[in-house]
């Protein structure tokens, strides 16, 4: 039986193009995994410095092919020139940032407890550090065709840990995926590797085969709640459990206090509109719900948001299915009892999918759990509240990647609110908007379910921690120990006899 | 419907005693969890120093009640006076060790990336550290009535992280569990807590209700593969996934090279016998399989082991069911084709359960995957090999807590063996035996499935990492930040603008 074709797609026009590949068969998948396993064995032979050089080489290769990659990503995502250029910068930036994290070596968590033969009973020499998990599966996301795709954060952090990767490409941008994969493979070859440390497969079935494959040691996924749950079920049926690092859905609530609205109604409204419509509302950190105080200042805030959203007009979604789902979800929410649609409905665009930036308004008394449901696209719900209503509404808040609060000048955080937000979200933001996720040491991109399926982060230095396991060596000769655990200067932070020592 | 009774049990005589409690009903379980949730809110109000003091107070309370606790544990486990005394020392020691880890604060992984308003786009201040997960469930193990039970490693590391705990007590030592729980509750009250941070429930159904309870944020378990898999299935049916830290089963293979056997046959044989029969073979790190070279030196090694095991004679298992299962498994293994039983069979002990230390021998050519199956009790399998057979045998090795190799004086580790063992085990031991698990910074007590269900450790400083999640604060005022993330001296290791800084 021949496999379905993978065809080129122009998100800007809604037109299909040439056949680029075919969906990966079970037999082909097994071959891709076998190559990745061979690559993993090769990676185990590289020291940290060589692995960091591999990440740097990948960043350079993406830049060398940047013009072609950007053109394809623009065509396939309709996200526009500026956004795609900055996304490529972020993608190469995070490869290089993680190369630096690997060079620094604190992620190894290296520890040495030296022998104490005089103790009763005698204590043996014990040394511990992190090793790579093995070959891991990564599922590319639709909404970041570069930064959360083939060479995205999951791939970069798995490679940084020393793992080989098999990526399940996203069907929304196959040509971009192929171009990025070619650059990664070339960089690996130039670095002296025989087997490419990143393999790639296409198709839903191949994705399921991938997570079921006994060689796969972990899975990274960014996508929908439904898609993530389907993979989670497949993983649960495995003989040996593996971690599923899924980032599934997030409402990213924003609380605006009365003082904040009174002081900065227009600025906050404008910022809200930008956060709702950026990337056509297809950010995982899009603020889907804003708690806006009742009264005149809140009215002004929303008027500013509506005016900015109406000025944006119809936007182009990543693909037709996303556009159709958005339309259905926005209509369903807008048709609920006591829900008012504040934005105008722009005329639909001819012959291509389009989505309308939509701001809904509902009184706190009429708001149900539905206000926290994520809608992928430029839809926001403003819940109008008076002071005392906020707490009971927030008690219904599911796990979220982020939670934000806008305060008046010098206004303290309302009692209990700071703790509540930190209990429900991975990142708590003050006087800002959640879109824009810095790639650094302090980033937590995760949060209680359904924001994420584990307590890990998928962005930043700590993302490497998802792809390692620790091993201890007891009474081992130098020959058996990783260089970072041998006596003498190791060049990495280490804990020696309980004391953390910097190199 | 009244709940089944929980009765006292004397493992030394095999006799049942008074009713101590009843199995926890679903309604009672909900109450216990609610109290733990209130305790968790209280714990969030303690700073690290107060939390460390709580752990220290618990250790002191266990010591204050030590005489009574030791007597009950000896009666219920039949593990003997010396072992129980040292286990109580280990239990209080690990509470105090983890108190030190909390005071030191590196486990917080605190990081600060300061704002850069001049960057394009501007970079916001971002700060990240670990917070406790919430209320966690802990399943006590049978084989360490103190160190892996109510106040054991899982409870201690969860409390150290700042979590409240609900323990599912093990039915093999209910009186010990009640006495230990009383000491913990008293220590918490003396530390000023209103709600005890450790609750306790009895019964298999209560255990299942516990892992299904929506409040429970993680589960720690040490026990059998079957029991662990039943809990894992229940957890997989939850609406929101939670981590299951299970330590399920381990073969702990030992490889003895020809040189090692030639040089130290008797010493290694004697050590093997001690490791096989210590705690009546009921250690999770009991070496269930030894690869012993064919020939005279190997024969001497096994003769020494057999002589030492025969001298030990019949041992008392933790409970009747363990004794019966051991007998069945030992008989099944001994009856396999080409398997020889080397040890003598001691006369069964009158009127109480007993198990016979048993050493089986099989040629490499006749050894199947069964040799790696864990048998709980003093059973070992010696696989006789010649050099080239070792590799293919070890390729069949499942994940294990430990893997050991005994080398000749100055003999290098055979090619590939060191890497293979580190791929399959959590701890690699040279010239030693796996029993005896140090509680320190370098310990890794875990390993690929089925040794553990995740890549975490359940012993040592890093065990705390199982019970935390990270939160980032963006542009947050001091008031909102945990003290460890505020400007100025924090007293903990922190990464500031990418640079690790010691206090």
User: What is the per-residue pLDDT across B376-386, written as a single tens digit (0 to 9) for each?
Assistant: 999 999 999 99
pLDDT of residue A347 exceeding 60, the answer is yes
Active-site residue (options: A247, A361, A374, A389)? A247
> Is there a contact between B474 and A427 if contact means CB atoms under 8 Å apart?
yes
DSSP string over A315-349: B--SSHHHHHHHHHHHHHHHTSTTEEE-S--PPPP
pLDDT digits (tens, 9 = 90+) for A36-50: 999 999 999 999 999
- pLDDT in the model for residue B1: 57
- Locate B407 and state its tokens: 């080398």
- Average pLDDT, integer, range B401-427: 95
Q: What's the CA gap between A252 and A254, in Å, rounded?
A: 7
Q: Is residue A436 part of a domain?
A: no
- The answer on pLDDT for A1 being more than 70 is no
Q: Smallest Cα–Cα separation from A51: which of A482, A476, A500, A478?
A: A482
For residue B332, give how far its alpha carbon lies from the nearest alpha carbon of chain A (Å).
24
Give the residue from chain B lying closest to A106, CA to CA: B500
Q: Which pLDDT does position B388 carry in this prediction? A: 85
Pair A217, A136: CB distance under 8 Å: yes
Give residue-wise pLDDT tens across range A75-127: 999 999 999 999 999 999 999 999 999 999 999 999 999 999 998 778 999 99
CATH number of the domain enclosing A228: 3.40.605.10
CA angle B33, B73, B355 (to 5 degrees): 115
Q: Which of A419, A429, A472 has the CB atom closest to B444's CB atom?
A: A472
- Cα separation, A134 vs B433, in Å, equals 27
For chains A and B, CB pairs below 8 A equal 200
- Pair (B179, B289) in one structural domain: no
Chain B positions in Cβ-Cβ contact with residue A466 (cut-off 8 Å):
none
Interface-testing mutation among A471, A478, A492, A499, with chain B (most B C-beta atoms within 10 A): A471
Pairing type for strands B425-430 and A468-474 reads: parallel
pLDDT tens digit sequence for A405-430: 999 999 999 889 999 999 999 999 99
Predicted confidence at residue B489, as pLDDT, reads 85
Listed in sequence order, the residues at least 6 apart from A392 whose beta carbon sits closer than 8 Å to its beta carbon are none
A181 & A51 share domain: yes
pLDDT at residue B350 greater than cutoff 80: no
Instruction: Check which CATH number belongs to the domain holding A285 and give it.
Output: 3.40.309.10
pLDDT at A120: 78
Identify whether residues B59 and B92 lie together within a single domain: yes
| Number of domains forming the structure of chain A | 2
CA distances from A374 to A112, A142, A425 (A): 46, 16, 15
pLDDT score recorded for residue B340: 97
Q: CA-to-CA distance for B156 and A118, rounded, in angstroms? A: 28
Give the tokens for residue B303.
């003769």
Same domain (yes/no): A226, A148 = yes
Identified catalytic residue from A23, A87, A163, A284: A284
Respond yes or no: is residue B182 known to be catalytic.
Answer: no
Q: Which of B76, B247, B361, B374 is catalytic?
A: B247
Shortest Cα distance, chain B CAs vs residue A486, angstroms? 14
Q: What is the DSSP letter of B452?
A: B
User: How far apart are the C-alpha atoms of B208 and B194, rounded to whole Å?
Assistant: 27
The first and second tokens of residue B37, run together, are 């949730």
CB-based contact B468 A455, cutoff 8 Å = yes
CB atoms B472 and A427 under 8 Å: yes
Q: Are residues B258 and B244 in the same domain?
A: no
Structure tokens at A359: 């701001």
| Co-location of B190 and B244 in the same domain | yes
pLDDT at A346: 80
User: pLDDT grade, residue B345 (50/70/90)?
Assistant: confident
State whether A288 and A418 are in the same domain: yes
> Do A453 and B241 count as a contact with CB atoms less than 8 A apart?
yes
Residue B500 resides in a domain: no
Distance between B337 CA and the closest CA of chain A, angstroms: 28
Segment B13-21 shows an average pLDDT of 92
The Cα of A439 is separated from the nearest Cα of chain B by a number of Å equal to: 10
Radius of gyration of chain A (CA): 24
B405 in any annotated domain = yes
Specify if A498 maps to a domain. no
B45 to chain A: nearest residue by CA? Answer: A419
- Is residue B209's pLDDT more than 60? yes
Chain B residues whose CB is inside 8 A of the A469 CB are: 426, 446, 448, 455
Say if the Cβ atoms of B455 and A469 lie within 8 Å. Answer: yes
Selecting among B284, B361, B374, B484, the annotated active-site residue is B284
B377 located within any domain: yes
Asked if residue B448 is part of any domain, the answer here is: no
Chain A CB contacts of B455 under 8 Å are: 133, 243, 468-470
The per-residue pLDDT for range B61-82, each reduced to its tens digit, is 999 999 999 999 999 999 999 9
Cβ-contact B265, B289 below 8 angstroms = no
Which residues of A are less than 8 Å from B121 in CB distance? 436
Cβ-defined contact of A430 to B243 (cutoff 8 Å)? no
With tokens 């096989």, the residue in question is B276
In this prediction, the answer to ipTM > 0.95 reads yes
Both B103 and B237 in a single domain? Answer: yes
Name which of A354-368, A443-457, B339-353 the model is least confident about. B339-353
- Residue B466 lies inside a defined structural domain of this protein: yes
> pLDDT tens for residues B77-96?
999 999 999 999 999 999 99
Q: pLDDT digits over A225-242, tens only?
A: 999 999 999 999 999 999
Residues B168 and B259 in one domain: no
Give residue-wise pLDDT tens across range B299-319: 999 999 999 999 999 999 999
The answer to whether residues A207 and A25 touch, using CB atoms and an 8 Å cutoff, is no
Among the residues of B151-220, which ranges form H helices? 153-161, 174-190, 204-212
What pLDDT does residue B341 have? 97
Evaluate whether residue A463 is within a structural domain.
yes
Asked if pLDDT for residue B404 goes beyond 90, the answer is: yes
Cβ of A268: how many Cβ atoms within 10 Å?
Answer: 26
Domain residues for the domain of A370 are: 254-430
| Residue A5 is among the residues annotated as catalytic for this protein | no
Q: B348 and B401: one domain? A: yes
Residues A94 and A186 in one domain: yes
Residues A128 and A174 in one domain: yes
Contact: B425, A471; criterion CB under 8 Å? yes
Q: Is A48 helix (H, G, I), strand (E, B) or coil?
A: helix
């Amino acid at each position: 039986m021949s496999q379905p074709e993978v065809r080129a797609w122009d998100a800007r026009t809604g037109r299909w193009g040439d056949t680029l590949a075919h969906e990966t068969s079970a037999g082909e998948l097994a071959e891709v995994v076998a190559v990745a396993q061979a690559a993993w064995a090769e990676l185990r032979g590289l020291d940290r410095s060589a692995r960091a050089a591999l990440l740097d080489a990948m960043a350079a290769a993406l830049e060398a092919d940047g013009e072609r990659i950007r053109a394809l990503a623009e065509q396939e995502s309709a996200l526009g020139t500026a956004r795609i250029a900055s996304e490529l910068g972020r993608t190469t930036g995070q490869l290089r940032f993680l190369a630096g994290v690997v060079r620094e070596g604190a992620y190894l968590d290296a520890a040495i407890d030296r022998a104490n033969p005089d103790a009763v009973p005698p204590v043996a020499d014990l040394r511990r550090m992190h090793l790579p998990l093995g070959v891991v599966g990564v599922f590319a996301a639709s909404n970041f065709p570069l930064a959360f795709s083939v060479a995205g954060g999951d791939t970069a952090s798995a490679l940084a840990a020393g793992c080989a990767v098999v990526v399940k490409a996203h069907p929304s941008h196959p040509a971009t995926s192929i171009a990025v994969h070619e650059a990664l493979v070339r960089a690996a070859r130039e670095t002296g590797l025989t087997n490419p440390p990143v393999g790639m497969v296409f198709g839903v079935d191949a994705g399921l085969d991938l997570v079921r494959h006994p060689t796969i040691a972990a899975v990274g996924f960014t996508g929908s709640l439904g898609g993530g749950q389907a993979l989670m079920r497949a993983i649960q049926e495995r003989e040996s459990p593996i971690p599923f690092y899924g980032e599934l859905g997030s409402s990213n609530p924003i609380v605006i206090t009365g003082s904040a609205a009174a002081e900065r109604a227009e600025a906050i409204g404008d910022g809200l509109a930008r956060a709702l419509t950026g990337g056509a509302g297809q950010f995982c950190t899009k603020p889907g719900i804003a708690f806006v105080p009742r009264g005149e200042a809140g009215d002004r805030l929303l008027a500013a948001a509506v005016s900015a959203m109406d000025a944006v007009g119809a936007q182009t979604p990543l693909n037709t299915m996303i556009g159709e789902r958005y339309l259905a979800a926005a209509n369903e929410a807008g048709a609920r009892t006591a829900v008012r649609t504040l934005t105008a409905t722009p005329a639909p665009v001819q012959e291509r999918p389009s989505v309308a930036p939509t701001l809904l308004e509902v009184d706190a008394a009429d708001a149900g759990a539905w206000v926290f449901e994520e809608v992928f696209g430029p839809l926001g719900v403003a819940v109008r509240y008076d002071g005392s209503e906020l707490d009971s509404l927030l008690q219904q808040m599911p796990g979220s990647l982020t939670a934000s609060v806008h305060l008046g000048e010098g206004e303290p955080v309302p009692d209990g609110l700071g703790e509540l937000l930190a209990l429900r979200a991975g990142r708590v933001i003050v006087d800002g908007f959640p879109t824009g996720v810095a790639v650094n040491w302090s980033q937590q991109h995760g949060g209680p379910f359904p924001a994420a399926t584990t307590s890990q982060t998928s962005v930043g230095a700590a993302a490497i921690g998802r792809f390692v396991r620790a091993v201890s060596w007891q009474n081992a000769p130098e020959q058996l120990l990783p260089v970072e655990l041998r006596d003498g200067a190791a060049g990495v932070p280490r804990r020696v006899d309980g004391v953390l020592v910097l190199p």
